[in-house]
Structure 1
Amino acid sequence: MKRILIIDDEQDIREATQICLEISGEWEVLTASSGAEGLVTAASEQPDAILLDVMMPDMDGLTTFQKLQAHPLTQNIPVILLTAKAQPAEQRQFTQIQVAAVITKPYDPFTLANQIEQVLIAAKS
């Protein structure tokens, strides 16, 4: 079973996403409510992938991503950004950093596990 870490400051989104991924039967889900907590969990638990919310207080998703990239224990974990922002300029910004993918909120909870699976297959090739 693969492990995924959800880093999102909104508890209802964390819980809904966790349920969707656990129902698929493919994922063991870890959660963190802040970028700082996510960094610690990612380093200690070594998940197969990270779902990272872009808009968070204190440390936003892009800052969290940069810190994940800078740490030897977490730099090779594929990161998928979750964002409500899908403006072309922001999409370009996301393309410039080495994220595995960007999934736009609101996402379809029933296809999320499959979307993540496709991203990880692409990341390996």
Structure 2
Amino acid sequence: MIKLLLVENDLDICELVRLSLELHGEFDVVDCSSGEEALRIVGDYRPDVFLLDFMMPEMSGPQVLKRFREVPELADVPAIFLTARTWEATKSELIDLGAKEVIYKPFKPTILGAQVKAAIER
């Protein structure tokens, strides 16, 4: 099982992502609704991959990733971003931060698991 930490503040999207990944059959998903919550539980969960919303109140996805990268045990955990911002500059910024992939909203629930798995394997 691939342990995935999902950080998404929209509860409907969070539920859809979690169900999509769990139905894929290869993911154990723990979800958080904020960066602060993710920072509290990440050490105990020890994920294999992060799936981060780009825009969240209080702490953005890039800010969360920067905080994760400060922890030596998390420095090499692959990160994937979900975003509604389809600007090429946004994707470039996220790749420069170390993201393995950027998945645009609205995403296709039926292929989300395959997209995440492909990004991890790259």
Work out whether 1:98 is the aligned partner of 2:95.
no
Distance in 1 (CA, whole Å) between partners of 2:40 and 2:77 is 14
Number of equivalent positions: 122
Give the corresponding residue for 2:111. Answer: 111
Give TM-score, length-normalised by structure 2. Answer: 0.95
Deviation at 1:41, TM superposition (A): 2.0
Distance in 1 (CA, whole Å) between partners of 2:90 and 2:24 is 30
Give the corresponding residue for 1:5. Answer: 5
RMSD: 1.0
Give the corresponding residue for 2:76. Answer: 76
Residue by residue over 1:15-44, the C-alpha shift from the partner in whole angstroms, topping out at 9 and shown as x without a partner, is: 111111111111111000101111222222
Give TM-score, length-normalised by structure 1. Answer: 0.93
| SS at 1:73 equivalent | helix
- Residue identity matched to 1:49: V
Which blocks of at least 5 consecutive residues in structure 1 are unaligned? none
Deviation at 1:81, TM superposition (A): 0.6
Deviation at 1:95, TM superposition (A): 2.3
Residue by residue over 1:68-103, the C-alpha shift from the partner in whole angstroms, topping out at 9 and shown as x without a partner, is: 111112212111011100112212212221111111
Deviation at 1:3, TM superposition (A): 1.2
| Percent identity (aligned) | 32
Give the corresponding residue for 1:24. Answer: 24
